[in-house]
Structure 1
């Protein structure tokens, strides 16, 4: 996992802790307004609020430490870029990365359509060292100013490529479901070699029992394991654009690349959810919810049943870091529900009078909220909505986040820019590709809720 990914996870954890602390404070205010207020109840709620406050501080310090580490890495990289031997003269002005008051390498006032940027990209691939130097300087500027927004895009020629922000600010890309669930999975760096990831699973454990009598044999069971072979998959897409569009268009190449990268992410996320045999939908144990008039209060016990099954499958290997994954239409349907019923047990981060909490985060920005028992929700529109006999059902998935594994190349997705192959037709071929592997089956724990109770929702307030 890269430092940027760790920082993104730390920010999500801090957001969750802040929301929990806010919920506990709201609960304390609500408690103090009740007529049958007791000192013990207030003391207990204050303790919960203080514990949530301590968690915020802990998450804040962890994020600050990672950000300090990132700043130091960038500082060292900048020092390395400026360091030359004593025998070498000082670098020219346009060979040093400068951010802030200094002018950017590519600017809208001097390269409004991005022609210079695209020409440098092409020249760098053909071995032009000056063009490559400008691209690398531009990347240093982007990492400094937008490091928390960038996903690594590796190439064979240089460490990465990010289109200048001003070239992509105004165009309207095709909307994609992108990769909310894939970003929430447990990430690993894909091994450098091989087309298979192997995991040993103990399927028969040892045995322990009371000794029958003194000097008699104690319990014995030979342990056995089974290899879990996880294939490394290749995702790729291509687009041929005319040289006229590249050389005389307004940022055409950057728009095409952006669309390819986002479709790559959407494909990966769709596969980890819906791929035959290995996707989450295929491997999850089914809990059927049948109803002609479905309501949120009917559905919720099925969620609790699923979470119970997750823990029963994991036992002492359960991390407690559970997730509910659902389509956005199901998330908004749950928010539309109104009820006068309250849970019998209080839950962390949820006020008893309400059926969960909405964190009001945007799509694809991490946890969207929590269910009544405090389970975080990931909203992902790669969750299919054409399931069931009527082809109008969706599913809700319940998993232990730490047992949803995703291996990715740290530089993925990568791309190839080929001119020679399409030279006779004045075309430029762009190919985006990457390798990944995933599994939800290290432990057979995943659950899914499906059935007629999850048809296209009607927003009736029930």
Structure 2
């Protein structure tokens, strides 16, 4: 196999590796948009993408080596043509291999403005390997003919601002940060029914009764059971973005980036609705446990947490599952961690080391339970909780039974629509993300929230 055939084979292998790597990157971006993704799934996909990266690097190294070998062979051929043999009798004419004058890759007499060179610079940036080969040959020609000048007058990239093309690391773009859906992911999820715009539940509001029989053969207690219909609206969460066709077709990864951001906004809006919506949001259905203090401390706050949890259980009675949650803003969670103390609970709790006031699991934001309080209650950190409540700088802490906070979602939500016709006249592409959901925290009126001046913007003083 000739050197040229090896180079062609190496180019084809590199192109295949680049295509495979791009497919892995697209799959990774799509996975990150999945609201049900796990850290293990992301890690596995990143590992696959990195393996594809390594394969591209390996193939490029092989091709570069072959091109370097080819350039060296051409350089040797040019040099050999200039050598004048001395001291030996010249061989017969027909036994001498001769190299004629080879035309330069770029010739001023044929292309005075250098348009071919400029096209190849741009094409090489976009991945044209033949353009890269021509540029490589040109540099070898320059080294052969003007090597000394190139070495003596070496310059940096600053001298070629129009030719040193900036590189955009599209796989490392920085998404706009979002609070997303820590609370929504922690509560009890259900499949949304396929039809209808309301969800109806029956709640028993008048129970039966029993009592001690007054005497033999006398009537026993009887109370007619009765229920009340609870109706929850199916709501639509949606967003859109119109992109120019040029940005999609001439850009690098524009569409997946915009889609990822729409998914982030979708998750944030859903979670914020569960917490803050008028009438039905958690802040509006929870019964307040007041914590009023001009100089709040974590040690003073904790008894309010215990009070709230006791009221949650009292409201649920035998329907309490004990699967409680404390939901708070990140600033409140870190404020509680900053507190120092010399006293400990009188009653030990499962999973809590003695002489500690809770535990921090050191998980990242939005990745489930962040830690536990001194009595073992898991903590969910959610920055969709308001920080301008009450007096204007307060946040709130919510205490709920996880199993009594219900969220109905379509298993395929959020949906994605890509429509080209509505904006075809202006070369636009419309992207729409939407989904349906319903929720309730009030099947039983159990939720509690700690609120008041004791939850003003925290200062980290170690108390």
The TM-score, its normalising length taken from structure 1, stands at: 0.66
Residue 307 (structure 1) aligned with residue 216 (structure 2): no
Residue 215 of structure 2 corresponds to 213
In the superposition, relative to structure 1, how do residues 290 and 211 fare at CA in structure 2: closer, same or farther (>3 Å)?
same
For 2:416, what is the secondary structure of its paired residue?
strand
Instruction: Measure the CA separation in 1 of the matches of 2:413 and 2:177.
Output: 21
Residue 226 (structure 1) aligned with residue 228 (structure 2): yes
Contact 1:319/1:400 (8 A) holds in 2: yes
Instruction: Measure the CA separation in 2 of the matches of 1:146 and 1:425.
Output: 28
Residue 429 of structure 2 corresponds to 428
CA-based RMSD:
2.8
Residue 455 (structure 1) aligned with residue 451 (structure 2): no
1:377, CA displacement in angstroms? 0.2
Contact 1:152/1:410 (8 A) holds in 2: no
Residue 408 of structure 1 corresponds to 409
What is the number of equivalent residue pairs in this alignment? 325
1:420, CA displacement in angstroms? 0.7
**How does 1:359-378 map onto structure 2 within 5 Å?**
359-378=361-380
Contact 1:168/1:255 (8 A) holds in 2: no
Residue 110 (structure 1) aligned with residue 19 (structure 2): yes
**How does 1:262-273 map onto structure 2 within 5 Å?**
262-273=264-275
1:147, CA displacement in angstroms? 7.8
Instruction: Measure the CA separation in 1 of the matches of 2:445 and 2:17.
Output: 53
In the superposition, relative to structure 1, how do residues 406 and 215 fare at CA in structure 2: closer, same or farther (>3 Å)?
same
1:425, CA displacement in angstroms? 1.1
Instruction: Measure the CA separation in 1 of the matches of 2:49 and 2:435.
Output: 24
Query: Which sections of structure 1, spanning at least 5 residues, go unmatched?
Result: 1-105, 118-137, 154-161
Instruction: Measure the CA separation in 1 of the matches of 2:187 and 2:438.
Output: 12
Instruction: Measure the CA separation in 2 of the matches of 1:168 and 1:325.
Output: 36
1:150, CA displacement in angstroms? 4.3
For 2:423, what is the secondary structure of its paired residue?
helix
1:351, CA displacement in angstroms? 1.7
In the superposition, relative to structure 1, how do residues 172 and 149 fare at CA in structure 2: closer, same or farther (>3 Å)?
closer
Instruction: Measure the CA separation in 1 of the matches of 2:291 and 2:366.
Output: 27
Residue 260 of structure 1 corresponds to 262
In the superposition, relative to structure 1, how do residues 237 and 387 fare at CA in structure 2: closer, same or farther (>3 Å)?
same
Contact 2:33/2:260 (8 A) holds in 1: no
**How does 1:131-142 map onto structure 2 within 5 Å?**
none
Instruction: Measure the CA separation in 1 of the matches of 2:254 and 2:276.
Output: 32
Instruction: Measure the CA separation in 2 of the matches of 1:109 and 1:374.
Output: 50
**Whose radius of gyration is greater, 1 or 2?**
2
Residue 161 of structure 2 corresponds to none
Instruction: Measure the CA separation in 2 of the matches of 1:107 and 1:268.
Output: 41
1:273, CA displacement in angstroms? 0.5
In the superposition, relative to structure 1, how do residues 107 and 368 fare at CA in structure 2: closer, same or farther (>3 Å)?
farther
In the superposition, relative to structure 1, how do residues 365 and 274 fare at CA in structure 2: closer, same or farther (>3 Å)?
same
1:396, CA displacement in angstroms? 0.1
Residue 106 of structure 2 corresponds to none
Instruction: Measure the CA separation in 1 of the matches of 2:370 and 2:346.
Output: 25
In the superposition, relative to structure 1, how do residues 107 and 326 fare at CA in structure 2: closer, same or farther (>3 Å)?
farther
Instruction: Measure the CA separation in 2 of the matches of 1:193 and 1:290.
Output: 47
> Which of residues 245, 266, 282 in structure 1 aligns to 2:284?
282
Alpha-carbon deviations, 1:330-385, whole Å to 9, x = none?
00000000000111000011123111000000000000000000000000000110
Residue 237 of structure 2 corresponds to 235
Alpha-carbon deviations, 1:395-421, whole Å to 9, x = none?
000000000000000000001111110
Query: Which sections of structure 2, spanning at least 5 residues, go unmatched?
Result: 1-14, 38-44, 51-168
1:286, CA displacement in angstroms? 0.4
Contact 1:350/1:356 (8 A) holds in 2: yes
In the superposition, relative to structure 1, how do residues 181 and 152 fare at CA in structure 2: closer, same or farther (>3 Å)?
closer
1:142, CA displacement in angstroms? 5.3
Contact 1:152/1:411 (8 A) holds in 2: no
Contact 2:416/2:434 (8 A) holds in 1: yes
**How does 1:61-460 map onto structure 2 within 5 Å?**
109-110=18-19, 150-151=34-35, 169-389=171-391, 391-460=392-461
Contact 1:152/1:412 (8 A) holds in 2: no
For 2:366, what is the secondary structure of its paired residue?
coil
The TM-score, its normalising length taken from structure 2, stands at: 0.66
1:151, CA displacement in angstroms? 3.8
1:110, CA displacement in angstroms? 2.9
Instruction: Measure the CA separation in 1 of the matches of 2:206 and 2:400.
Output: 24
- Following superposition, which runs of at least 4 residues in structure 1 exceed 2 angstroms of deviation? 145-153, 162-169
Instruction: Measure the CA separation in 1 of the matches of 2:400 and 2:204.
Output: 21
Instruction: Measure the CA separation in 2 of the matches of 1:201 and 1:388.
Output: 32
Alpha-carbon deviations, 1:164-188, whole Å to 9, x = none?
9689741100000000000001010
Instruction: Measure the CA separation in 2 of the matches of 1:107 and 1:355.
Output: 57
